Structure 1
Amino acid sequence: MKKGQRAGDGAFAVEVEQGKSYFWCSCGKSSKQPFCDGSHKGTDFTPLAYKAEESKKLFFCACKQTDNQPFCDGSHNKK
């Protein structure tokens, strides 16, 4: 699996709302991190859809190196 460019060195804490869909930026180029703004156009990347099953805080990956997309798995610590 191809991994995007780093958009940060940690995780983005986001309060998600039950039933709402979120589109995680996989390329790392979005100006609306951790979510897609369409900056991937013309690349091999596409956003990853996530639909919240409940309202709670989740930690979305910023480094784009995670093996648990779209969530942080600590890969930013393995520079």
Structure 2
Amino acid sequence: MREADAKVTPREGAEPCRDLQTMFGWPRTAALGSSVRGSLGRIVFSQIRTCSAVSPSSTQPVIAAKHPFQVELQPGKRYAWCVCGHSQKQPFCDGSHKKSAPEISPLRFKPEEAKEAWLCGCKCTKNPPYCDGTHMEDFVQKADLHSKPKL
């Protein structure tokens, strides 16, 4: 997916525990992950089933930037917003999650009209992919870039 047409201005972890079937005898589809759709559901689901062992892969997003990204969105164009925070093409996905955070997927969206938007860079917004001002909170501003936010 090419995001070259969008103008962008300004310019580890937890290891998953055993799956729910092993832990509780539940099929994975009976868990929270099946009732919550999309990338955020996978994030919530993965946070529920993480333990403190260290692993090279991450199941939680990292702070990519402490500011939002101003972009010009085109109507009908498909975008993939980076949810994991590892992309080198912020705020858009470049596939880095496949290695760095395999349980996290980008948030795909298609605007219905042309508009200027501010896309979240801290990955902590409650209104993804749009900035809601969370980047101004102390827990983001005091955190290191590319670290997991400590709430």
Q: TM-score range by the shorter chain?
A: over 0.9
Task: Count how many residue pairs are aligned between Structure 1 and Structure 2.
Answer: 79
Matches within 5 A, 1:17-28: 17-28=74-85
Give every structure 1 segment of 4 or more consecutive aligned residues whose post-TM-superposition deviation is greater than 6 Å. none
* Gap regions ≥5 residues in structure 1: none
Aligned residues: CA RMSD? 1.2
The answer to whether residue 108 in structure 2 is matched with residue 45 in structure 1 is no
Larger radius of gyration: 2
TM-score when scaled to structure 1?
Answer: 0.93
1:77 aligns to what? 136
2:94 maps to a residue whose letter is: D
- Larger helix share, 1 or 2: 2
Percent sequence identity is 48
Per-residue deviation, 1:4: 1.0
TM-score when scaled to structure 2?
Answer: 0.50
Q: 1:76 and 1:47 mapped to 2: Cα distance?
A: 19
1:15 maps to a residue whose letter is: E
Q: 1:50 and 1:11 mapped to 2: Cα distance?
A: 17
* Gap regions ≥5 residues in structure 2: 1-43, 48-59, 140-151
- Larger strand share, 1 or 2: 1
Greater relative contact order (Cα < 8 A, sep 6+): 1
Per-residue deviation, 1:57: 0.3
Q: 2:104 and 2:82 mapped to 1: Cα distance?
A: 9
